[in-house]
Structure 1
Amino acid sequence: MPGILNIETSTTVCSVALSCDGVVVFNKEDHEGPSHASVLGGFINEAVDMARIKDIPIDAVAVSCGPGSYTGLRIGVSEAKGLCFGWNKPLIAVSTLELMVCHVMFSKMLPENALFCPMIDARRMEVYSAIYNWALEPLKPVSADIIDENSYKELLDTHLVYFFGNGADKCKGKIIHPNARFIDDVVPLASDMLALAERSFRQQKFEDVAYFEPFYLKEFVATTPKNKLF
């Protein structure tokens, strides 16, 4: 099995994990807010030191590719691409929403017919979301959705749907269907990238390091400060 350095920076949580032979051998997380630029390099250095100590070859770098925070994604992807260039290693892109589903699948006992709806906050009543089955097949593709009482009704009428992620909390008062279930405290983490990253490595599904960009889903919109400095 490969040794993979996993990087996740799509939300306010920054995390790095080193995996080998299907096991996470190093994991570091920062939940204190969007300080990715100041902590990510240190986390990576610690992971590389652990790889040296345990004599683990780093065969690839995997990065959470979005959707998510524009700034966070750029920081993580830029760091991952730089490492791949410097080490001459392949780059693996992992869907942020899919890695959140993997966390719930592996950590919860849920019904076989349940569906999974990871949600990432996109401001106001909008979320980045998709709906997956147990085979991780998208029954609703990734999109930016404005949530109201009719959101996802067609699938909710026939399945239990589990909603989770930092966008799910604000939807509890809108999605009140009896088949809706909410799971708290699920955030995308590098330690949950393992299965998806190793699958891509086995399939030799790598990105073009020179041209790869994160999956922003929406264009970045810069705002002008109300109070001018000059």
Structure 2
Amino acid sequence: MQQDGDGERINIAIDGPAGAGKSTVARKVAEQLGYIYIDTGAMYRAVTYSSQQAGIGPQEAGKLADHVTHLDIKLQAGDNGQTVFLNGKNVTEQIRSRDVTLNVSHYAANEAVRQFLGAAQRRLAEDKGVVMDGRDIGSHVLPNAELKVFLTASVEERALRRYKEVAGKQPVTLEQLAEEISQRDQLDEQREISPLVRAEDAILLDSTAMPIEEVAQAIVKLSRTKLAGAK
């Protein structure tokens, strides 16, 4: 797809809590604008999976800081979504396991992990034209992003979306997911290093009652408005 604006591009930061639809929306926005989509959540999941495989807990700061320096995480776009490679191995399915989901916020709270991945994410955005989603993109990773969106939804709606994703794959109830999402919100919001916050200049979008396509279209429209205003 051709990029918007005859080569003029901006960076778009989409933040929000777990299950708000950030990854799906960000991917659709990137496709429509011809931008590069960067799933930072997948990068944190890859670190979590690798650390668990190595027997390193989230509280073992020294071991974790050393471990991440040996990781090579690559994201590759494809027809069926994004493929995640960890040191050359495809771990796309493994990093979506329930064990990783329940623990990723704990590993993401480690300062060395956030510094390592934050630096990698900034390098990916140097040439502009990226859509990056996560918890601290607009507030910390890309504070100068031209467009910042804080995407949210009710806990009940987020739990329902996640339940539909894992139905038949994982033995979990809707009530369990709602409780886990609430706990993850609390962990993300209260961590000392780069907590989940809405950047002062971020536009709030509540997707509780909005179809994903509608949310994506709203962000595409905002991005084109930003581009037009910059000319």
> TM-score normalized by structure 2?
0.33
Greater relative contact order: 1 or 2 (C-alpha under 8 angstroms, separation 6 or more)? 2
> TM-score normalized by structure 1?
0.33
The structure whose Rg is larger is 1
